[in-house]
Amino acid sequence: MHISEGVLSGPVLASGAVIAMAGTAIGLKKIDYDRIVHVAILASAFFVASLIHVNIGPASVHLILNGIVGLLLGFAAIPAILTALLLQSIFFQYGGLTALGVNVIVMAVPAVLVHYIFLPLLGKSSTLTFAAGFLAGLFSILFSSLLLGLALWFTDENFFETSLVIISAHIPVMIIEGIVTGFCVTFLLKVYPEIIPVRKK
């Protein structure tokens, strides 16, 4: 789902960079520095996840894991995803550096959203935890696909058609990510509950 060099127009890239920078600043402010290791662990998981490929049609899709990163980190997911995407871009040529801002938004905005929607459901019961994790994984990819369609639409393409192509290409990823995220949160809650943030009241 990475956007490469030369796909988007200048204004879209510039706005993407500005919004991503603002998001990163908020994220850095909101990081609980006692949980910085968790941020690093999840950023690393996101960094590696993209290397697991599934070949569908002419496109090659891969695990993204922005759902679990966002679910567990909230706003801190923005700097985590920024770092991971930057390193992916440098080391594996995944996505262009100029498109980094847009790529961060595409991945991180849904991540932050699922944090606020699904985190309160974690830990209520194991079925609900799995369901919340599954939906977080699924919706994060769905939102990301829509944002990607939007970014391409701003440039010059047909939004509806492009989004439909992107979403349909990512349906298997949505399901896989849902299952992976569901299992991960259920497992983490049992063996490493400290990584699941408790909402401050």
In the complex, which residues of this chain contact other proteins (CB under 8 A)?
Answer: 1-7, 28, 31, 33, 36-37, 39-40, 43-44, 47-48, 51, 53, 55, 57-60, 83-84, 86-98, 148, 152, 162, 165-166, 169
Q: Please, what is the minimum distance in Å from the beta carbon of residue 59 to other proteins?
A: 5
Q: Please, what is the minimum distance in Å from the beta carbon of residue 118 to other proteins?
A: 24
Of 151, 175, 159, residue with least CA distance to 61: 175
Nearer to other proteins, 3 or 63 (CB): 3
Give exposure, 98-122, as e/b (b: 16+ Cβ within 10 Å).
bbbbbbbbbbbbbbbebbebbbebb
The C-alpha atoms of residue 177 and residue 194 are separated, in whole angstroms, by 22
Nearer to other proteins, 97 or 189 (CB): 97
Please, is 126 exposed, middle or buried when counting C-beta atoms within 10 Å of its C-beta (0-12, 13-18, 19+)? exposed
Nearer to other proteins, 15 or 44 (CB): 44
Of 147, 72, 136, residue with least CA distance to 109: 147
Nearer to other proteins, 69 or 122 (CB): 69
Q: Please, what is the minimum distance in Å from the beta carbon of residue 144 to other proteins?
A: 12
Q: Please, what is the minimum distance in Å from the beta carbon of residue 150 to other proteins?
A: 12
The C-alpha atoms of residue 97 and residue 81 are separated, in whole angstroms, by 14
SS (H, E, C) 5-33: CCCCCHHHHHHHHHHHHHHHHHHHHHCCH
Q: Please, what is the minimum distance in Å from the beta carbon of residue 99 to other proteins?
A: 9
Nearer to other proteins, 79 or 182 (CB): 79
